[in-house]
Chains A and B, each alone.
Chain A
Amino acid sequence: MAGPSLMDSLFQRSLDDLIKGLRLHQPTSESTFISKSLDEIRREIKSTDPQTKSTALQKLNYLHSLHGLDMSWAAFHAIEVISSQNFQQKKVGYLAASLSFHSSTDVILLLTNQLRKDLSSNNVFEVSLALECLSMICTVDLARDLTPEIFTLLGSTKSFIKKKAIATVLRIFEKYPDAVRVCFKRLIENLESNDVGIVSAVMGVFCELALKEPKSYLPLAPEFYRILVDSRNNWVLIKVLKVFSKLAILEPRLAKRVVEPICEHMRRSGAKSLVFECVRTILSSLSEYESALKLAVEKVREFLVDDDPNLKYLGLQALSVVSLKHLWAVLENKDLVIKSLSDDDPNIKLEALQLVMAMVSEDNVHEICKVLISYALKSEPAFCNEILGSILSTCCRNVYEIIIDFDWYVSLLGEISRIPHCQNGEEIEKQLIDIGMRVKDVRSELVRVGRELLIDPALLGNPVIHRILSAAAWVSGEYVELSKNPFELMEALLQPRTILLPPSIRAIYVQSAFKVLIFCLYSYLFPDEAVASSPSLPVDLDPGVTSSISPKEFSESSDVVVTEPLADREMDEGFNPRDISQSLEDVSVGNGGDTVIAHEQTSCSATLKKDYFTQESIVKLLDLVERTLCPLMGTHEVEIQERVGNIRGLTELIKQELPEFLVHKERNVEGVKVKALEIVKLMHDAFLEELGPVSTSAQERVPIPEGLMLMENLGDLEGICGDIQLPIPSQFCFGMPHSGGRESTSLFNQQTDEESETSYECTSLLAEHRKRHGLYYLPSEKLETISNACPPAKDPQQSDDLNDDGQDLVKLTEQSLVPKKKPNRAKPRPVVVKLDEVDGITIAVSKPESKDYLISGAVREVLLGNEVSSAQHKLPDKSSNKRREKDKLDIDQPSDTKENLANVGKSETSTSKKSKHHIPGKERKHKSSRKNADEREDVQKDKTKSGHHNPRHKARQRADDNVDVIAQTPVIPDFLL
């Protein structure tokens, strides 16, 4: 292919032409135009004429930054253009580099010398271009190689250059922490500059550094303080405030000094940005100073009442900063916060919602939830769900800590379920069941709420609510003895529209129907015992209300669906709930009391026995069950089919034997044995017993070994902690067979035999996990050996062999496991969740520390006056070995200069006026911090040798770091004002 010709350069499209061309084309033809232009650029950029080349690059820059075209292929051409003598062309080249270069651009190394040349140029604009580019694309190598040049520029007399050098330093430090030793002194000097631009730049750098690791910059507090008091530039003041908000937390005496100047700014300044920064600083870091806090809260209120949505938003945000420590600040502005819930802006609404949730306490939870629900009804679906979600999560916090009146809460849950758009079905399901199991007194209300959900056929059509219905069905079945009308419940559970439910939930319906059936039969067949066994109903329900609800709602809702399959005249009465209540009333009236209805509501079981369970009603019930469930025998869903099979077996048996029983009953013959009776009794007892382990009160009574039956928890765990928890369940798993097996062996007989295999598997998995994540296991290795060595509890021979060991080990395991499990047993869910959290925290904490470690270490050295020769310091080298050899010659020279420069920097500072702050620290800290530095270097070397993956080294490094910090803290106060 022929090279670019003269024609190309003569008729080259300029950037303006390109832009005009782009504007002429429609979006459809634009891409073809772009690719055509790109072809041109590819050709032109190879031109030998520098102007043609730079114009091509210019066009490429444009297409890259606005049309997202790849330009990495032109990296070399960019470097060529940068080396041009013409400033305009150079500028184009530098722009290209800063737009497209990054750490893995390979030709970036070719730029080093050009950058060095431009950085030392006499033309300030060339220097500025190079600095700007360097601040964007700096790599480790560039930072290392160009540190001397940057150091020189930091001392420049032209503020135009100086401030840019200062801004670049931040990037250099990030890439090459050793540069701190060289440049830091000069950076500090600039804090005293009279030039606002320079102070602003240098404060920008310190702000960034201090946000990452504030402790190291405490010694600079006097300089910062002076700026805080003297400066009149808002940009600078904002940065200084940010620094103080970090430092004040670390040093209370410093906080005391700065609080007054900050308040002064807050009072005097007309700039909202500055006032807001003061407010934020006081709320986040100085909130223990009461007068300052009051002033800040006043300012927040001004923001909140302002018409500007920006100020409103920021005011709310500021309040949420302080809400944890000083809730009164939020409560004082309650009216405005609640008003913001109906703001136009979703962001403001969300902030307001968070604040409202922060205000919730046991005293006001009713009131707030009422307000929130009314807002939810008015809001669009997304925010409505946001509100409902936060109500649910706030109320269940710490096992329903703030809920006193559970009856209210349960009915609130019922109300929430019916709100259109409600997407929180799963959470509501969880809470309904959880509350049922935990709170005994609320069960009758729970059953009432469940009934209302179940009898409404309209709800079955909404898939979002299905999960809630499943909870309602479960609750109604489990606590059927609290139900006012089991027959009606049965109707609801078996209504035709249940076909809309997914099979798993339908199975729960069928199972609940079974429980209801057993209860009815039992109450009928054993009237006396039924009274004794079923708990009496709490009397606080309003009889009038409940009795009025049932017929009304039913006549509306169930007619639609329920009536169609009721062609059978005979069944009509039994099937339609309305008729049932009708017939009940008849019965009660027949029994001769006008007040009976009221009684029936208040003491349910007594009336149930007398009035409900007549022969007629039971027969109807059986018929109903048979009629509706028989068709389900043919279903493909095993869960449903099996349950239906069970029920059907029972009903047939009863039907056969019922007449016989009735004969006996009429004759008042005692002690007649009927098979069906026994089965019913058995089942009833079984259902009663099953309540034990699931409810809170029952669990509390279980002795410790039995309490270790954490099978449900294991399921939970697997659900909760994604991929890593395979070994975590096993932790529980191996604990169980030991204690269970030895102390109450019979209980676990079957289980342990079956699980001996898996338990071995688990322990080996656990061992592996420990090996990999040794860091996260606080207890000694002992526990591990135990779990490996210990046999499954129910293997007698093996346990004999290891008996002696085993006994001790069991004790040990118990010691180490029991304290962990005690809370676990009482409140299973919260503990499980915590496990997850702890993991998250360790990971989160370890990362940032190691990241900024190098910079802050170097900073401390410089600030505390420690001399470290940079030549002896090993460089954190990420480049390949090959390259390092090549660079070696280069490195030696600069590192010499570095040392010299560092000394120069030092002598300069010692003559400067503020050095008096540093001298005491210098002398006192000299030895120890040097030692620390040496130690740290060792660790670093270790680290690089062994690769970064060994957690032990990490731990050691962190420990060293801590030592370092502790050793230095006593010195820091000396630097203070």
Chain B
Amino acid sequence: MGIRFILMVNKQGQTRLAQYFEYLTLEERRALEGEIVRKCLARNDQQCSFVEHRNYKIVYRRYASLFFLVGVDNEENELAILEFIHLLVETMDRHFGNVCELDIMFHLEKAHFMLEEMVMNGCIVETSKSNILTPIQLLDKAS
């Protein structure tokens, strides 16, 4: 299933966005997030961005105070996922203008909406920034 989940976590380890593409119970999610965040946040900039955890590969990248963590299955191309994370950040940046943690907190639904445009069922379906943002912009105009 390619991408299994996408997490955004701040430096303190608080989850700012969580999108799962497979069903996990609340307890499982909490445990998983805790373990992953502990593992990834302990690493420094000189270390690589890939961590193996349970049966996932975690690809993560840090932007200022926010960590973007993507859990993928073993077949996935790690570098492509890094590019995907970067694309996601660029897209958000274009929409919010200098995106920061607060933007995501206060516009969680929009962030989900963007993600849904980009990823469906764990597959990346859209990689063009303007295509991703068109529906949201329309929606903003309408409201």
A and B are partners in one complex rather than unrelated chains: yes
A19 within 8 Å of B by Cβ? yes
Stretch at the interface among B63-71, B90-98, B117-125: B117-125
Report chain B residues within 8 Å CB of A208.
Answer: 1-2, 122-123
Q: Separation in Å of the A303 CB from the closest CB of chain B?
A: 10
Report chain A residues within 8 Å CB of B121.
Answer: 135-136, 167-168, 170-171
A205 within 8 Å of B by Cβ? yes
Report chain A residues within 8 Å CB of B52.
Answer: 347
Which of A92, A163, A238, A273 lies in contact with B125, CB distance below 8 A? Answer: A163
Q: Please report whether the interface of chain A is mostly helix, strand, loop or mixed according to DSSP.
A: helix
Which of B15, B109, B142 lies in contact with A66, CB distance below 8 A? Answer: B15
A295 within 8 Å of B by Cβ? no
Q: Closest chain B residue to A344 by CB distance?
A: B46
User: Is the pair B125, A197 in contact by a Cβ cutoff of 8 Å?
Assistant: yes
B82 within 8 Å of A by Cβ? yes
B112 within 8 Å of A by Cβ? yes
User: Is the pair B125, A201 in contact by a Cβ cutoff of 8 Å?
Assistant: yes
Q: Return the CB mask of A756-780 against B: 1 if under 8 Å, else 0.
A: 0000000000000000000000000
Alpha-carbon separation in the docked complex, A219 to B29 (Å): 40
* CB within 8 Å for A103 and B23 given contacts A211-B75, A272-B79, A273-B80: yes
Alpha-carbon separation in the docked complex, A345 to B42 (Å): 11
User: Is the pair A344, B44 in contact by a Cβ cutoff of 8 Å?
Assistant: yes
User: Is the pair B127, A200 in contact by a Cβ cutoff of 8 Å?
Assistant: yes
Q: Separation in Å of the A266 CB from the closest CB of chain B?
A: 14
Q: Closest chain A residue to B45 by CB distance?
A: A309
User: Is the pair A242, B75 in contact by a Cβ cutoff of 8 Å?
Assistant: yes
Report chain A residues within 8 Å CB of B135.
Answer: 125, 128
* CB within 8 Å for A347 and B47 given contacts A66-B15, A135-B120, A201-B125: yes
Which of B30, B106, B128 lies in contact with A68, CB distance below 8 A? Answer: B30
Q: Closest chain A residue to B112 by CB distance?
A: A95
Report chain B residues within 8 Å CB of A102.
Answer: 23
Alpha-carbon separation in the docked complex, A88 to B135 (Å): 12
Report chain A residues within 8 Å CB of B109.
Answer: 58, 61, 91-92, 95
Q: Return the CB mask of B11-22 against A: 1 if under 8 Å, else 0.
A: 000111110010
* CB within 8 Å for A200 and B50 given contacts A58-B109, A95-B109: no
Alpha-carbon separation in the docked complex, A915 to B124 (Å): 29
A235 within 8 Å of B by Cβ? yes
Alpha-carbon separation in the docked complex, A19 to B139 (Å): 22
Which of B16, B105, B120, B127 lies in contact with A167, CB distance below 8 A? Answer: B120
Alpha-carbon separation in the docked complex, A277 to B123 (Å): 17
* CB within 8 Å for A65 and B120 given contacts A235-B80, A309-B48: no
Q: Separation in Å of the A308 CB from the closest CB of chain B?
A: 8
Report chain B residues within 8 Å CB of A276.
Answer: 77-79
Q: Return the CB mask of B47-58 against A: 1 if under 8 Å, else 0.
A: 111111000000
* CB within 8 Å for A314 and B120 given contacts A68-B26, A204-B2: no
With most chain A CB atoms within 10 A of its CB, the pick from B29, B43, B116, B131 is B116
User: Is the pair A163, B126 in contact by a Cβ cutoff of 8 Å?
Assistant: yes
Report chain B residues within 8 Å CB of A200.
Answer: 124-127
User: Is the pair B47, A345 in contact by a Cβ cutoff of 8 Å?
Assistant: yes
User: Is the pair A273, B44 in contact by a Cβ cutoff of 8 Å?
Assistant: no
* CB within 8 Å for A167 and B79 given contacts A95-B112, A345-B47, A345-B48: no
User: Is the pair B51, A347 in contact by a Cβ cutoff of 8 Å?
Assistant: yes
User: Is the pair A87, B142 in contact by a Cβ cutoff of 8 Å?
Assistant: yes
Which of B30, B78, B138 lies in contact with A310, CB distance below 8 A? Answer: B78
Q: Separation in Å of the B81 CB from the closest CB of chain A?
A: 9
Which of B2, B46, B143 lies in contact with A88, CB distance below 8 A? Answer: B143
Q: Which of A100-159 contact B (CB under 8 A)?
A: 102-103, 125, 128, 131-132, 135-136
A670 within 8 Å of B by Cβ? no
Q: Please tell me the number of chain B residues within 8 Å of chain A, measured between CB atoms.
A: 50
User: Is the pair B83, A309 in contact by a Cβ cutoff of 8 Å?
Assistant: no
A164 within 8 Å of B by Cβ? yes
* CB within 8 Å for A314 and B46 given contacts A65-B108, A201-B125: no
Q: Closest chain A residue to B43 by CB distance?
A: A345
Report chain A residues within 8 Å CB of B116.
Answer: 132
Q: Which of B103-117 contact A (CB under 8 A)?
A: 105-106, 108-109, 112-113, 116
Alpha-carbon separation in the docked complex, A128 to B48 (Å): 37
Report chain B residues within 8 Å CB of A171.
Answer: 121
User: Is the pair A164, B120 in contact by a Cβ cutoff of 8 Å?
Assistant: yes
Q: Separation in Å of the B53 CB from the closest CB of chain A?
A: 11
Which of B30, B47, B77, B113 lies in contact with A238, CB distance below 8 A? Answer: B77
Report chain B residues within 8 Å CB of A207.
Answer: 2
Report chain A residues within 8 Å CB of B131.
Answer: 160, 197
Q: Separation in Å of the B46 CB from the closest CB of chain A?
A: 5
Alpha-carbon separation in the docked complex, A347 to B122 (Å): 26
Alpha-carbon separation in the docked complex, A346 to B48 (Å): 9
* CB within 8 Å for A136 and B1 given contacts A91-B109, A164-B120, A201-B123: no
Alpha-carbon separation in the docked complex, A19 to B101 (Å): 13
Q: Closest chain A residue to B50 by CB distance?
A: A313
A348 within 8 Å of B by Cβ? yes
A16 within 8 Å of B by Cβ? yes
User: Is the pair B79, A204 in contact by a Cβ cutoff of 8 Å?
Assistant: no
User: Is the pair A310, B49 in contact by a Cβ cutoff of 8 Å?
Assistant: yes
Alpha-carbon separation in the docked complex, A270 to B75 (Å): 22
Q: Closest chain B residue to A203 by CB distance?
A: B123
Q: Separation in Å of the A717 CB from the closest CB of chain B?
A: 30
A637 within 8 Å of B by Cβ? no
Q: Return the CB mask of A773-793 against B: 1 if under 8 Å, else 0.
A: 000000000000000000000
Report chain B residues within 8 Å CB of A242.
Answer: 75, 77
A877 within 8 Å of B by Cβ? no
User: Is the pair A273, B15 in contact by a Cβ cutoff of 8 Å?
Assistant: no
A852 within 8 Å of B by Cβ? no
Q: Return the CB mask of A44-72 against B: 1 if under 8 Å, else 0.
A: 00000000000000100110011010100
Q: Separation in Å of the B113 CB from the closest CB of chain A?
A: 8
Q: Separation in Å of the A170 CB from the closest CB of chain B?
A: 6
User: Is the pair A70, B44 in contact by a Cβ cutoff of 8 Å?
Assistant: no
Which of A62, A170, A314 lies in contact with B123, CB distance below 8 A? Answer: A170
* CB within 8 Å for A312 and B120 given contacts A16-B106, A65-B17: no
User: Is the pair B77, A310 in contact by a Cβ cutoff of 8 Å?
Assistant: no
Alpha-carbon separation in the docked complex, A125 to B138 (Å): 10
With most chain A CB atoms within 10 A of its CB, the pick from B17, B105, B126 is B126
Report chain A residues within 8 Å CB of B79.
Answer: 272-273, 276, 310, 314
**Could you pull out 5 A-B pairs where Cβ atoms are within 8 angstroms?**
A65-B18, A87-B139, A102-B23, A197-B125, A309-B48
* 7 more CB-based (< 8 A) A-B contacts, given A242-B77, A309-B49: A164-B120, A167-B120, A168-B121, A204-B2, A233-B127, A314-B78, A345-B47
Query: What is the interface of chain B, defined by CB distance below 8 A to chain A?
Result: 1-2, 14-18, 21, 23, 26, 29-30, 43-44, 46-52, 75, 77-80, 82-83, 105-106, 108-109, 112-113, 116, 120-128, 131, 135, 138-139, 142-143
Query: What is the interface of chain A, defined by CB distance below 8 A to chain B?
Result: 16, 19, 58, 61-62, 65-66, 68, 70, 87-88, 91-92, 95, 102-103, 125, 128, 131-132, 135-136, 160, 163-164, 166-168, 170-171, 197, 200-201, 204-205, 207-208, 211, 233-235, 238, 242, 272-273, 276-277, 280, 309-310, 312-314, 344-348
